[in-house]
Amino acid sequence: MSILSNHESNMHQILREFPSPKVPRDDKGRVVSRICPKCDVGILQYEGDRIWRCNGLADRENTEQELIACDYTFEHGTNHPRSMSSEKIKVLFLDVDGVLNGCYTRERAPGGCTGVEPAKCAIIRRIVAETGCKIVLSSTWRRFSKNLPYLWKSLGLDELDNSLGQSPILDGRLESGLYTSPQRGHEIQAWLDKHPEVSRFVIVDDDSDMAHLKPHLVQTDGRTGITDEIANKIIEGLNV
């Protein structure tokens, strides 16, 4: 056996013993799809204590009227050697429109809405490379699961390795029938409440409805999206 194949063999051994905590695996250590096996539309999000839960608010036809309620939960494989809650991680809450695109963008996502700019995606890759952060989607793109494969492909990042899911959608409805929508900051806080392992986080968004989390916001100009200067601020915020 060559040195290289010995090395590869050792790496495989290590990977078997220490499967990534960011990827849902069954009790045999096999990677499980993040697409919910029950509703086949929602995306499994890590809740801590080895529990993954379907986000339950997937949109089957890109119409907000057809949100699917699903409460499927999945327990991470029992061969997992450590609790994710003991691992300190950095998170970038990522908005898409007004961050990865601007008013000049001609790219189109599969659903026909405005797509993302390759140059802006490259800036996100630089942030990930320089900080080791994980991405949590806080954009309205959470509602359009059909567009997410396009988004991750455009970002040039493997979703399973680089994402910890999405902030929850906390729309409500009053007795009068009126729909309510909380500030985005409250949805981000709801995600943070379930992830005590997060040590630092930055929110990048062109909107400012972050409630008490505004000090964590690095705001873009929605007409131009993220720039290198803004990326430097984010990196600084994550690497303090």
| Smallest separation (angstroms) from Mg ion to the CB of 217 | 12
Does 117 contact Mg ion by CB under 5 A?
no
| Smallest separation (angstroms) from Mg ion to the CB of 140 | 7
Q: Give φ, ψ of 23 to 5 degrees.
A: -115, 125
| Smallest separation (angstroms) from Mg ion to the CB of 96 | 7
Query: Of 117 and 206, which CB lies nearer to Mg ion in the complex structure?
Result: 206
Which one of the spans 60-68, 105-113, 201-209, 211-219 is the region binding Mg ion (CB under 5 A)?
Answer: 201-209
Query: Of 116 and 128, which CB lies nearer to Mg ion in the complex structure?
Result: 116
Query: Of 97 and 187, which CB lies nearer to Mg ion in the complex structure?
Result: 97
Does 165 contact Mg ion by CB under 5 A?
no
DSSP 28-80: TS-B--SB-TTTSSSBEEEEETTEEEE---EETTS-GGGEEP---EEEPPTT-
The Cα 93–Cα 220 span in angstroms is: 13
| Smallest separation (angstroms) from Mg ion to the CB of 123 | 15
Which one of the spans 40-48, 49-57, 88-96, 125-133 is the region binding Mg ion (CB under 5 A)?
Answer: 88-96
| Smallest separation (angstroms) from Mg ion to the CB of 113 | 12
The CB-side HSE value for 136 (13 A sphere, CA atoms) comes to 31
Query: Of 95 and 117, which CB lies nearer to Mg ion in the complex structure?
Result: 95
Q: Is 4 strand, coil or helix?
A: helix
Q: Which residues lie below 8 Å from residue 100, measured CB to CB, with a gap of 6+?
A: 116, 117, 120, 121, 124, 154, 225, 226
Q: Which 89-108 positions form the footprint of Mg ion (CB under 5 A)?
A: 95, 97-98
Query: Of 47 and 209, which CB lies nearer to Mg ion in the complex structure?
Result: 209
Instruction: Say which residue the tokens 């790496």 belong to.
Output: 11
Query: Of 199 and 208, which CB lies nearer to Mg ion in the complex structure?
Result: 208
Q: By CB under 5 A, name the one of 117, 159, 187, 206 that touches Mg ion.
A: 206
What own/partner pairs with CB < 8 Å and gap ≥ 24 does 218-225 have? 220/95, 220/98, 220/99, 221/98, 222/97, 222/98, 222/102, 222/103, 223/98, 223/102, 223/103, 224/102, 224/103, 225/98, 225/99, 225/100, 225/101, 225/102, 225/105, 225/117, 225/120
Q: Closest residue to Mg ion, Cβ-based? A: 98
| Smallest separation (angstroms) from Mg ion to the CB of 137 | 12
Query: Of 68 and 226, which CB lies nearer to Mg ion in the complex structure?
Result: 226
Interface with Mg ion (CB under 5 A): 95, 97-98, 206
